[in-house]
Structure 1
Amino acid sequence: MTINSIWFLSGYGIALILMLYFGLNALVVSLMGNPFPNVQFITILALIFIVAWSIGLGVRRYLTYFTKERKNKLQRSFVGITAMSWIIVLILFSIA
């Protein structure tokens, strides 16, 4: 892997962890506040979808520059980092 790939994968992991932690935390807080179908919940849910879509488009655009063999290797790396990000977020929720 090149340095650029490592930087991009690291940035992807950090962005995913931040989005998941703060997004899910805000959803839980909005559920415990006002009656359930409130504006805050819908806004946060929409923002999570927009940010996740943007991250996905960025990854897709990044992967178009590589050959098929290299793309498959990076795709496996992205899947692994996604799983690790979820595990880290679950650990953070269990600690807090």
Structure 2
Amino acid sequence: MTTNKYNMWFLSGYGIATILLLYFGLNGLVVTALSDKFPNARFITILALFFIVAWSIGLGTRQYINSFTKDTQNKIRNSFLCITVFSWIIVLILFSVS
């Protein structure tokens, strides 16, 4: 496998992880915020898990980007930025459909 295939796998995994994190995290926060008591333990737990998972994804992505040379880092950063925006758009579409 070449480096380009590894990049595509990592970018695809990042996009899927971002979509899952955003959809289930935001959905869980909205559902618990609309319950009878607010803030409750479930809301705080989901919020803490949301931050921990997002932080972990960010650290992994940062280490992955820093493993490249300066020239390639800019291209990879732009790819991650595009995938992040695309993930937000997909999550917004999922929320509007469901």
The TM-score, its normalising length taken from structure 1, stands at 0.97
Q: Deviations over 1:27-60 (max 9, x none)?
A: 1110111311111111100000000000000001
Q: How does 1:46-65 map to 2 (within 5 A)?
A: 46-65=48-67
Aligned mates of 1:52, 1:26 — CA distance in 2? 15
Q: Deviations over 1:51-81 (max 9, x none)?
A: 0000000001111210101000000000000
Q: How does 1:4-83 map to 2 (within 5 A)?
A: 4-83=6-85
The TM-score, its normalising length taken from structure 2, stands at 0.95
Letter matched to residue 81 of structure 1 = I
Percent identical:
64
Give RMSD over aligned pairs.
Answer: 0.9
Aligned mates of 1:25, 1:52 — CA distance in 2? 15
Moved over 3 A (4+): none
Q: Deviations over 1:3-23 (max 9, x none)?
A: 000000000000000000000
Between Structure 1 and Structure 2, how many residues are aligned? 96
User: Gaps spanning 5+ residues in structure 1: where?
Assistant: none
